[in-house]
Structure 1
Amino acid sequence: MRFEAPFLLWLLFAVVYDFRQRRIPNWLVLAGALGALIALAFGAAPFGHGWTSALLGAAVGFGFLLVFHLLGLMGAGDVKYAGALGLWVGLAALAPIWIISSVLAAAHGLLWLALQRWPLSPRLALFLFGQPISRDGQTPTRRTRFIPYAAYLSVAAAIWMVWGRQSL
């Protein structure tokens, strides 16, 4: 038996929380890391990997995204979340998950740019970006994280969990 249901539940919490709050709280990261460690202890990781792959996945997931955080391009919660996600998925699944989530985040960013120029729907803008776009098309003065990258990492992990198994 694999711990797929707890993993998917954790992903769902991250998606909802990141889209609504535009942040990933430490308790959610710690809960995910603890869940991954428990799954590994029982030999029931959802992706069927072992301790070495999980620990490498956590280190690479955290370390790679830390560079983007240090450049000011990503929030610290996303970085910590990527480390916990690495524990769940292992090193081998990180690259396809990053590619999928980056494509989703890029689409989000392009949609944000389009809605800045042509505000089609204020409700859509509020859902996607966490704040309404001003009528004059100017971005708000305070800097916000408008791309919920942890949510896209979660969606990508769920996609890879289904699609990646079928392609192997």
Structure 2
Amino acid sequence: MKIAFLLWLILVVVYDFRMRRVPNWLVLAGAALAFAALATGAGPLGHDWRAALFGAGAGFATLLLFYATGLMGAGDVKFAGALGLWVGLPDLASIWIVASLVAGAHSILWLALKRWPFFPRLALVLAGPSRVPESGIPSGRVRLIPYAAYLALTAAAWMVWGRQS
């Protein structure tokens, strides 16, 4: 199941970096795989149902507060819940802290490049795809930070390097 977990994380990274969204089908597929791993005892980090459910609840509830204030997209919140199923509460807290630091660095770098355009192409990459339709009127909120991608990258690194058994 470690391979399935890593493939799921890679798909989340690709979608979130390219589209600045995580589709529902991808979140549901990850949650279903996590439930299957828990049911067969083949979870990549070897935690139990209790840790998984607490991780899912804590990931979802905590990030829901950021969504409610308009600071985060719904896909990030749902992904954090599904990720909590995979990694459990204790590991989710560490992953969340590191991913938040990386997302903060992304934000600071984007702001610096926006203010001092030494590398305008890098600023465009950090800003993500344009959400302005042909009419010129922006539709919806602009999501600059691919937070789910940073959670996924941190979780992959945590599993591969930080939690080797």
TM-score, with structure 2 as normaliser: 0.90
Alignment partner, residue 135 of structure 1:
none
Deviation at residue 124 of structure 1 after TM alignment: 1.6
User: Which among 63, 85, 89 is matched to residue 83 of structure 2?
Assistant: 85
Taking the aligned partners of 2:129 and 2:15, their CA distance within structure 1 comes to 15
Aligned pairs, number:
158
Alignment partner, residue 53 of structure 2:
55
Alignment partner, residue 123 of structure 1:
121
SS of the equivalent of 2:55 reads helix
1:163–1:141: structure 2 CA closer, same or farther, 3 Å change rule? Answer: farther
**Equivalences for residues 3-152 of structure 1 within 5 A:** 3-131=1-129, 142=138, 143-152=141-150
Taking the aligned partners of 2:123 and 2:129, their CA distance within structure 1 comes to 7
Taking the aligned partners of 1:13 and 1:72, their CA distance within structure 2 comes to 25
- Divergent runs of 4+, >3 A: 140-143
Q: What is the aligned-residue RMSD (CA, Å)?
A: 1.7
Q: Using the aligned pairs only, state the percent identity.
A: 65
Q: Unmatched 5+ residue regions in structure 2?
A: 131-135
Taking the aligned partners of 1:24 and 1:146, their CA distance within structure 2 comes to 14
Summarize deviations over 1:114-157 as a string: whole Å, max 9, x none: 1111122333223221147xxxxxxx984411000000000110
TM-score, with structure 1 as normaliser: 0.88
1:85–1:37: structure 2 CA closer, same or farther, 3 Å change rule? Answer: same
Taking the aligned partners of 1:119 and 1:141, their CA distance within structure 2 comes to 25
114-123 or 79-88, larger mean C-alpha shift: 114-123
Q: Unmatched 5+ residue regions in structure 1?
A: 133-139
